[in-house]
Amino acid sequence: MNIQPLLDALGLQEDAARALADDLRAQIDDLQTRLRQAEMHLEHLAITRKTVTALADRLPAHTPGLPEHPDYPGILTAFHHAAGPLRAKDVCEALGHELLPKNIEGARAKLKRLVKLDVLTEVDVGSFTRKQ
């Protein structure tokens, strides 16, 4: 009995199975790479969400009913970033206005108006802070 044709057929099947296994390993490697990339992207998105959330807490809240003057958003931003109370002079500096008496008095008037609107609190004469 000649078993050579049987051994040749087995060899062909082994070669085909080996080629399939190699192809599957290559696909697994590709999928593992893609999985690592997807996981890294998810991690970056989580970090971004955390950063944006932390920054959003620092943004001044939109206060409806503010007077229609371009200084008011800047004033609120200055108070939002301030560690303590601010004076009219500090607000002028934060807004980039020259420290002239007319500008300081204008800032003081705006601060007093924000106190009346219940946005700021005057903690002592001429010193203001955000409403808590």
Top pLDDT among 23 and 124 is at 23
Residues 72 and 66 sit within 8 Å (Cβ to Cβ): yes
Q: Which residues lie below 8 Å from residue 97, measured CB to CB, with a gap of 6+?
A: 103, 107
Check residue 64 and give its pLDDT. 61
Q: Which of 21-25, 37-41, 43-47, 65-69 has the lowest mean pLDDT?
A: 65-69
Instruction: Using pLDDT thresholds of 50, 70 and 90, give the confidence band for residue 19.
Output: very high
Check residue 60 and give its pLDDT. 60
Check residue 61 and give its pLDDT. 60
**Mean predicted confidence (pLDDT) in 85-99:** 93
Classify residue 124 as exposed, middle or buried by CB count within 10 Å of its CB (0-12, 13-18, 19+).
Answer: exposed
